[in-house]
A and B are shown apart, each in its own frame.
Chain A
Amino acid sequence: QSVLTQPPSASGTPGQRVTISCSGSSSNIGKNYVFWYRQFPGTAPKLLIYKNNQRPSGVPDRFSGSKSGTSASLAISGLRSEDEADYYCAAWDESLSGHPYVLFGGGTKLTVL
């Protein structure tokens, strides 16, 4: 089965800019949109970025997404302590003909030092 690879952890200090990568393949990121979710401990995930770089209403512009080829990135600028959470990328995968499915990355735990 296909995989989306994220670093298990990332960190930064308040005010810094941090990026989280998500590496996939031609069957997922290479041909489909990337989504990013944020999950605080003990709570459900929430959509942060859709269609590679679009923010749902209410998501501050400190959060931005990008995609190039078979990789994507989430950038957080002006890091705040409340950004400490787990971040997941996701994309539709079409490696199995006629049976597309949503693939999640393994998640990145962001620590604000």
Chain B
Amino acid sequence: QVQLQESGPGLLKPSETLSLTCTVSGGSTRSYYWSWIRQPPGKGLEWIGYSDYSGNTKYNPSLRSRVTISVDTSKNQFSLRLSSVTGADTAIYYCSGEPIFGVVVDYWGRGTLVTVSS
């Protein structure tokens, strides 16, 4: 059973860079598409983007200029970097994975709240 766990700072100041890591256990990072999705408190879901292990990425156009998603197969982790954050980036950030081939299933982390405040 694949398990995901987000980690990273929970509080940032405006203009700083958000950096989150998702640690994967029970599966190989080479076998999945890895995504980040966020949810402002009390609001809906927003897709941030995804990457596979080879660096094939797709990003939400509204965030593309500020976001980088990368996969570290040696550590079985993938990460999110979002630069120049503002209060609008305050949200619960979820990491998620789905197999590239085979059975359709999705795995999610529990989510981590990131607050941007001066």
Contacts and interface: CB of A to CB of B under 8 A. Distances in A.
Are A and B co-members of a single complex? Answer: yes
Interface of A: 1, 37, 39, 43-47, 50, 54, 56-57, 88, 90, 96, 99-107
Interface of B: 35, 37, 44-47, 49, 58-62, 64, 94, 96, 98, 103-106, 108-111
Contacts, number: 58
Given A56-B104, A57-B103, A99-B64, A44 B110 contact: yes
Q: Report whether over half of chain B's contact residues are helix, strand or loop; otherwise say mixed.
A: loop
A40 to B, nearest CB: 12
B109 A44 contact: yes
Contacts of A103: 47
| Best-buried of B35, B98, B106 by chain A (most CB within 10 Å) | B106
Given A45-B37, A99-B61, A104-B46, 9 more contacts: A44-B109, A45-B45, A47-B106, A56-B105, A57-B105, A90-B45, A90-B47, A101-B47, A101-B59
